[in-house]
Amino acid sequence: MAVIHRTTLRPTKLELLTEWLPAREWHTGAEARPVNAGGFRLDDPAGEVGIEIVAVTDGEGDTAVTYLVPMTYRAGPLAGAEHALIGTMEHGVLGKRWVHDATHDPVFVTQLYALLTGRTQAQAQSETDAPDPTVAVSPAPAVGGAAGVELVRVTEGTDHTDMVVRVPGASAPLTLRVRRVLRAGADSATEGVGRVTAEWRLSDGTTVRGEFAAVLTGAGQG
């Protein structure tokens, strides 16, 4: 169970993302001024890694774009994932935390697969032990166990990130897709066999819903 601490963060998540976002190929601007727009958390069964799926809106009016950034928080750097480090922060209770782009973190990948197959629940972004009822899952058929999911490779698209995984008991690899650029409405999942939709706030304060993640039928859809 993720415990939410009411404490200080230096730098804040948004300050880290201000530096990190412009270098992403799916970020459309030359600079970033992200504002928190929503999201949710997933629990690490081992209780070691914080997992947060963060939606941030960048820009104003018709030019505003909402991006999805899954992040993991660790007590030390993730071995072999130096390229996925967003930055470090000082947590007022837990001390120094290493913040990674979660699409490269096997703990996140395992828990995302568990969510997409209906084996775990999304948790509220800012409350302890509180499922988020606004997150909807159309589950994919459960193939093999959630434990033992192996991350094979990560590929970036213009509006998404794909994580190819091997699942125990599956005859072929699966692709878990995270939508990096969020779009309101019934976002297409025609290639998918399961998906997660959730809400976020637009720059004018209205709330919309769209696809956050999906399981695709092949090992890489471009």
pLDDT digit string, tens, across residues 64-111: 999 999 999 999 999 999 999 999 999 766 679 999 999 999 999 999
The pLDDT of residue 185: 84
Structural domain includes residue 72: yes
Q: What is the mean pLDDT of residues 1-5?
A: 55
Q: Where is average pLDDT lowest: 85-94, 175-184, 189-198?
A: 189-198
Residue 56 domain flag: yes
Q: What is the pLDDT of residue 190?
A: 46
Token pair for 155: 């590929």
Q: How far apart are the two ends of the chain, measured CA to CA in Å?
A: 35
Q: Which residues, at least 6 apart from 71, have a Cβ–Cβ distance to it below 8 Å?
A: 13, 51, 52, 53, 54, 86, 99, 100, 101, 102
More reliable by pLDDT, 117 or 148: 117
Q: Is 174 exposed, middle or buried (0-12, 13-18, 19+ CB in 10 A)?
A: buried
Give 160-169 contacts, CB < 8 A, sequence gap 24+.
160/26, 161/26, 161/103, 162/216, 162/220, 162/221, 163/103, 163/109, 163/112, 164/219, 164/220, 165/109, 165/113, 167/113, 167/143, 168/144, 169/143, 169/144, 169/145
In a domain, 23, yes or no: yes
Mean pLDDT of 155-179: 93
With respect to residue 202, please indicate whether it lies within any of the assigned structural domains: yes
Which alpha helices (DSSP H) does the chain contain, by range?
13-20, 106-116
Domain of 86, in residue numbers: 9-216
Comparison of pLDDT for 197 and 142, the residue scoring more: 197
Q: How many domains does the chain have?
A: 1
Quote the CA–CA distance of 81 and 31 in Å, as a whole number. Answer: 24
Decide if pLDDT at 10 tops 90. Answer: no
Alpha-carbon span 7 to 16, nearest angstrom? 17
Residue 152, burial from CB neighbour count under 10 angstroms (0-12, 13-18, 19+): middle
Could you give the 3-state DSSP secondary structure of residue 22?
helix
Rounded Cα distance between 38 and 34, Å, is 12
Whether residue 217 is predicted with pLDDT greater than 90 in this model: the reply is no
| Pair 187, 179: CB distance under 8 Å | yes
Would you say residue 94 lies in a domain?
A: yes
Is pLDDT larger for residue 202 or for residue 102? 102
Higher pLDDT, 62 or 69: 69
Domain for residue 221, yes or no? no
Is residue 14 included in any domain, yes or no? yes
pLDDT at res. 164: 96
Going by C-alpha positions, the residue among 11, 31, 13, 12 that lies closest to residue 21 is 31
Mean pLDDT of the chain: 89
The token pair at 101 is 């782009």
Residue at 1 is within a domain: no
Percentage of the chain with pLDDT > 90?
70
**Across the strands, what pairs with 155?**
162
- Give the model's pLDDT for residue 222: 44
Q: At residue 48, does pLDDT exceed 60?
A: yes
